[in-house]
Structure 1
Amino acid sequence: MTSAPLSPAQLLAVHQLLDGVAERQRHDFGHIVSDVKPDGSLITACDRWSDETLVQGFAQICSGESTLSEEGEKHCPATSAFWVVDPLDGTTNFAAGIPYWAISVARFVDGRPMEAFLDIPSLRQRIVAIRGRGAWRNGKRLTAETRLAAGSACVSLCSRAIRVLQRRHQEPFPGKIRLLGVASLNLVSVAMGQTVAALEATPKIWDLAAAWLVLSELGCPVLWLREDPTALVPGRDLSDVGFPVLAASSEEQLTRLRPWGESLLLP
């Protein structure tokens, strides 16, 4: 077992694995039946198949590296390198026939994401980030300059973050609100220049892992509002652990939105 970056052959194998899962999800979209998990969230047979396929695939690509996933093992691995997977982020959209969801994958090395892959099957887009080397969309490099040039005035919220509008009802919200219904894509929208900030109230580690590295590689400041995912403890059950987070396109935007983010923590 190694904790080195993925080799070119391993990267190719990851892309081929994701190609197969994305194709199956496109095929199943619009033809699925959902169940309700014990926590009240939805799950489909496609979620389960995608999870099993990815977990088995990563075990072959990187022998000895465990996988932490939304639909599978939820205890933080003790190995220095492991995978974090949300096989179908945005199941509610997927089950409702809304064509916007993602496959979120990150490989952690020494407590932080080393490689990240965010695939948006319906758009046939794949965002890739490698620690210290940058980020790309469909092979085209993303830069902070193009992100800042987009000129967006939008702020992305998750459904649970809407309560900040009630807690600070005396003030106008500083942005045009968007709700995408996909935690990973809410966060990565900042890195893409689609929004100037994103606020997630209860994301799990598999929701944010891939987007976190993309944000980091493009210089987007991130504020962990409660727990810091860099302090993951091996063996800890992460089933019910949320990492409230505010991501922004600049330190100025982070400062402007910070009071709204911190209001999430009020009783």
Structure 2
Amino acid sequence: MNNWQTILTFIQELTKQVGARLLADFEEARVAINKDDGSLVTSSDRWADEYIKLSLEKEFPEYGVLTEESTQILPDREWAWVVDPLDGTTNFARGIPIWAISLGLLHHGTPVFGYVAVPPLHQNIYGWADENGSAAFLNDREIHLADIAPDPDALSNYFFSACSRSLAKMGRAEFPFKMRMMGAATYNILTVAIGSTIGAVEATPKIWDIAAAWAIIKAIGAIWIPLEDSQNIFPLEMGKDYGQRNFPCLIVSHRELLPMAKEIIEPFFH
């Protein structure tokens, strides 16, 4: 498959529908409960999970679907969707407008297409990368690394983004950047793609946090470094339960920044 426009049109409409409902929920009182892993979940997460899953199964009956809130075993299918129906639930539940809807499409266990909608910020970030080519977009405008090249002599004016667990694992309190914590793993990673940050680190993302983002980061040519055993993340294993598996990672916009970024996150390797 290389006709991404057909898939894109469907996913744009699907995330528009889901985003409209989530935005309405976001304006109302939000009740969150703790899951077994300590993270929060709301009725909005579960509604979005079911709605997206059923919509994908109807439109793409031959594809498998893995989602955060329901099916966490990767189906044994050539093509499979990986869905985070509401990335940034804690932000959503606490009234912070940084949360996203994330859909990644795997081919033989490797992401080739990703779409991340961020309704509160009116941002849609998407892209594809396969043997036929690659491209990435922000609100239908193509994005390129050349457009976001940082000035190496003025890094104090650039951002580096980390999750709270990353700071604890690195044992750091001071950085040569102004720190930003997004509270949404997918969006945290994609700040590199859209030029908001020059790097990002995530300590405990799950597969639904990274599948869509991985395809987009690959499409623009940024650097993705797995921080667990230096192993390649993809392809995933068919039939495996990914509910508890973390994929710590470092993302850097330009290769010349990699040595400095690796020095910063060096405690990950101990």
TM-score (norm 1): 0.92
- In the other structure, the counterpart of 1:163 is 168
Q: 1:115 to 1:27 in 2, by over 3 A?
A: same
How many positions carry a matched residue from both structures?
260
138-147 or 257-266, larger mean C-alpha shift: 257-266
The match for 2:72 among 71, 74, 82 is 74
Letter aligned with residue 75 of structure 1: I
Measured in 2, the distance between the counterparts of 1:97 and 1:265 equals 35
Cα distance, 1:153 vs. partner? 1.5
The structure 1 segments of at least 4 consecutive aligned residues displaced by more than 6 Å after TM superposition are none
- In the other structure, the counterpart of 1:257 is 261
State the secondary structure of the residue aligned to 1:230: coil
The 5-angstrom pairing of residues 28-177 of structure 1 reads: 28-31=25-28, 32-131=30-129, 132-148=133-149, 153-166=158-171, 172-177=174-179
The 5-angstrom pairing of residues 236-255 of structure 1 reads: 236-255=240-259
The match for 2:9 among 9, 12, 18 is 12
Residue pair 1:30, 1:95 contacting (<8 A) in 2 also = no
User: Percent identity of the aligned residues?
Assistant: 35
256-265 or 213-222, larger mean C-alpha shift: 256-265
For the aligned residues, what is the CA RMSD?
Answer: 1.8
The 5-angstrom pairing of residues 193-204 of structure 1 reads: 193-204=195-206
Deviations 1:19-43 (A, max 9, x none): 1000001000032211111111100
Structure 1: give runs of 5+ residues left out of the alignment: none
Measured in 1, the distance between the counterparts of 2:93 and 2:220 equals 32
Letter aligned with residue 159 of structure 1: S
The match for 1:230 among 229, 234, 255 is 234
Structure 2: give runs of 5+ residues left out of the alignment: none
Measured in 2, the distance between the counterparts of 1:194 and 1:9 equals 29
Cα distance, 1:164 vs. partner? 4.4
Residue pair 1:246, 1:254 contacting (<8 A) in 2 also = no
